Amino acid sequence: MSAPEQPENPAADVLIIGGGLSGALLAAQLLRQPGQRRLLIVEPRSDLGRGEAYSATHLGHTLNGNAARMSVDPDNADDLTTWLGQHIAAGGWPESAGQQVPVAELFPPRGLFGVYARQRLAEAQAVSARQGSCLEHVQDQAVDLAVDDQGVDVSLADGRTLRATRAVLATGMFAAARTAQVSDNALNTASVDPWNIPAMQAIDAHGRVLIIGSGLTMVDAVVSLQAAGHRGPIEVFSRHGLLPQVRRQPPAWEDFLAADLSLCSPLQLLRALRAQCQAAGQQGIDWQAPLDTVRVHIARLWSQASERHKRQFVRHLRPWWESHHHRSPPQGAALLARLVEQGRLRIHAASLQGVETSADGQPVVRLRFRGQTQVERISAAALINSTGIEYDWRRVARPLPQNLLQRRLIQPGPLALGIAADAQGAVQDAEGRYSRRLFAMGPPLRGLWWESTAVTDVALQAKALAQRLVGYGD
């Protein structure tokens, strides 16, 4: 693929910072709006729509939701299912033939999902070109920006400055394994990337590997190790020692939260959900059925919760919510179960105290196991950081987040999750003012909506924000 052409005139109606899924979906929605407009999207990768999450190329790194749950079209829940069926019929993804389930129940590889997202953007570009709109991909990294009454100036790593009437922070997720920390993070320095299979092939095939974190990134890391030919012991450590539950396909369940809007505190919700899961079990129905009905109410529940209730949820319930709601795809879960049964994979509840390197260059971690006071030192052939996503922008040692904070153009979101903004994505600065020029969507709004990373969440935000942006008169 040839490098995207660079724009001669940097002025744009909307400039999107980040060309992963969030940025691509917003661009597609803007292109579908009536009228003519010029869009710029700043993204260092050559492909739009992939970002951090969908740049994986190994077939074993799959979505953690089946096709029926992962449409990028907020008006058509079957869009991915339809596209995937056509793609398979045309000879794409031949490995799916052995799964013997309907297309809607397939868990596609994340790289294939990136192809789907890019194709939907290309289709929007083709339609918009006929009405005079255009999207230009600037293959570079945004490192700073300045806002005035007329617009936004975005500084790039190569020294250029782009001008736009409005800009959107669609930066996606900062994966902890690939994100430098403001404080010295020895864990990242000593770790192997969870998705770097060639790097894992250099690890002693029978040596012990330590993995910090037991969420979905850990599942990917184990898949990568298996693909790299590693056959030694794997020790997984996390604060609570919880594994993601496996994603199943339960039948529909009554939306009990829609029938009782009085449920608002974490304790009330937990009690009601337990009762619903028990009722489902008595009927022989999977507990995931009632839990899945909570999905559409998360944004409302979180936005209505008090600061105290939010802190209670994060402190006491978050680990169980993450392991039960963000579930593992069946293929990854099956691999974990097999390795546990073979005795190769063990899960431990322990908190990380530090990382160092031994005299022979091997990583050594200091851990305190649950219920113990002493700290133990454990060495291994390799260490993998699978601690998930870094949502606190104050901890992300990248130019753009740090410059925005220093310029006081943004402030941390609730509980330091992402950045502060209003319900329509207008960014709030350090003085509490909401901008008419700078907006955000997707993972940066984690503190506003709690769940702001799933495909369906991002797709809905993209549609709403596009409508708001085209509604401005200037």
Alpha-carbon span 302 to 312, nearest angstrom: 12
The domain boundary residue, chosen from 337, 361, 385: 385
Q: Are residues 43 and 117 in the same domain?
A: yes
Q: Are residues 213 and 272 in the same domain?
A: no
State how beta strands 363-369 and 382-385 pair.
Answer: unpaired
pLDDT (tens digit per residue) in 76-111: 999 999 999 999 999 999 999 888 899 999 999 999
Q: For the chain, what is the domain count?
A: 3
Q: Are residues 170 and 181 in the same domain?
A: no
Q: Are residues 124 and 224 in the same domain?
A: no
State how beta strands 12-17 and 161-169 pair.
Answer: parallel
Alpha-carbon span 141 to 157, nearest angstrom: 5
Q: Are residues 188 and 159 in the same domain?
A: no
Q: Are residues 343 and 241 in the same domain?
A: yes
Alpha-carbon span 388 to 18, nearest angstrom: 20
User: Is 68 a domain residue?
Assistant: no
Alpha-carbon span 26 to 122, nearest angstrom: 13
Alpha-carbon 462 to chain mean position:
15
pLDDT above 50 for 7:
no
User: Is 101 a domain residue?
Assistant: no
pTM of the model: 0.93
Q: How confident is the model at residue 227 (pLDDT cuts 50, 70, 90)?
A: very high
Three-state DSSP state, 355: strand
The domain boundary residue, chosen from 310, 325, 340: 325
Q: Are residues 351 and 443 in the same domain?
A: no
Whether residue 472 contacts residue 166, with contact meaning beta carbons closer than 8 Å, is answered with yes
The domain boundary residue, chosen from 358, 385, 412: 385
Spatial strand order of the sheet with 382-385 comes to 376-379, 363-369, 345-357, 234-238, 209-212, 382-385
Alpha-carbon 102 to chain mean position:
26
Q: Are residues 333 and 319 in the same domain?
A: no
The parent domain of residue 191 ranges over 177-245+328-385
Q: What is the pLDDT of residue 84?
A: 98
Going from the C-alpha of 82 to that of each of 68, 76, 102, 297, the distances in angstroms are 9, 10, 11, 27
pLDDT above 60 for 230:
yes
Q: Are residues 29 and 132 in the same domain?
A: yes
Q: What is the pLDDT of residue 10?
A: 53
Q: How confident is the model at residue 473 (pLDDT cuts 50, 70, 90)?
A: low
| Burial of 258 per CB tally in 10 Å (0-12, 13-18, 19+) | exposed
Closest among 109, 125, 106, 107 to 48, alpha carbons compared = 125
Q: Are residues 462 and 396 in the same domain?
A: yes
Q: The domain that contains 343 carries what CATH number?
A: 3.50.50.60
pLDDT (tens digit per residue) in 259-283: 888 887 888 888 999 999 999 999 9
